[in-house]
Amino acid sequence: MGMRDTGLPETSLPELARRFLAWGVAATLLLPMVIAIVLGLGGLLSALGDQAAAAACGRVGLVGGVVWFLAVAVTATVSGIVALDGSATRRDRPASPPQDHSVAP
C-alpha cells in the first residue's frame, strides 16, 4: 500500500513547525488588539443604549480570548517541540572544514 496523492505539497516536519510558529506568534500578538477593539466597541454600544449589540461584542470578545489562549498554548508547545527536536533549527548547509589554529614556527 503506497502513499496516496492528495494533491497537497509534501511538507517536512520542521517546515510545518515553522509555519505553526509563524501563525502562532502572529495570532498571539494580534488577537489581544482585536479583542480590545471589540470590547471597546461593546462598551461604546452599551453607552449608546444598544444592549443587544454590546452583549454580542462581549461574546465575540470572550471567544477571541479563548482563541488567544489556545494560540499561546499551541505556540509554546510547538516552540518546545522545535527546541527539543533540534533538527528544525538546522539549515541545509555544508559543515565548515576544521580550522587549524596552530602557530607556524
Would you give per-residue pLDDT tens digits along the chain (105 residues)? 455 556 656 667 778 888 888 899 999 999 999 999 999 999 999 999 999 999 999 999 999 999 999 999 999 998 888 888 766 445 555 566 667 667 766
Residue 104, C-alpha cell as written in the block:
607556524
| Whether the predicted model's global pTM rises above the 0.85 cut | no
pLDDT at 51: 96
pLDDT at 94: 57
The neighbour count for residue 39, using CB atoms within 10 Å, is: 18
pLDDT at 19: 86
DSSP 103: P
Could you give the CA distance from residue 67 to residue 80 in angstroms, rounded to a whole number?
Answer: 20
| 17 within 8 A of 82, measured Cβ to Cβ | yes
Could you give the CA distance from residue 31 to residue 26 in angstroms, rounded to a whole number?
Answer: 8
Could you give the CA distance from residue 6 to residue 4 in angstroms, rounded to a whole number?
Answer: 6
